[in-house]
Amino acid sequence: MAILLTLVHYIVCIFLIIVVLLQSGKAADLAGAFGGMGSQTVFGPRGSATVLSKATTIAAVLFMVTSLSLSIIATRGGKGGSSVLDKAKAAPTQQQKNATPQPGSTVPLTMTPVGPNGEKGTPQTVPAPVVPAPAPAK
């Protein structure tokens, strides 16, 4: 379904580009270049809708519909790429990694003690250093 809709979207895009390029501007004559509009209306004289203007409108509507449909299909797809917010929640911040231990808590050692005969012991914990609170400023 997505492949068919993408193909239709490409065809509509090419058709819309061609139809827009084939149209002439509202003031394409020489008088329009110097500001003469030939009528006293605000936006210039407006004739009846031509085949090209109707085709442009239809192509523009089809382009919008296929664009919205493709975006809905992409978001409801099975993969559903991760967003920046999901990655930010999953990764711990640098402050959390280097957090200082609270007084009275234990900190695991990264090295395992080795006995006199080369046997390895169990990891030990060391009490965290007690840091006195700063005196209040006067």
> What confidence tens digit (pLDDT) does each residue in 62-101 have?
999 999 999 998 888 766 556 777 777 776 655 555 566 6
Q: What is the DSSP letter of 47?
A: -
Other beta carbons within 10 angstroms of residue 59's beta carbon come to: 20
Q: Are the C-beta atoms of residues 106 and 126 closer than 8 Å to each other?
A: yes
pTM of full prediction above 0.85: no
Give per-residue pLDDT as tens, 33-52. Answer: 565 555 555 565 666 678 88
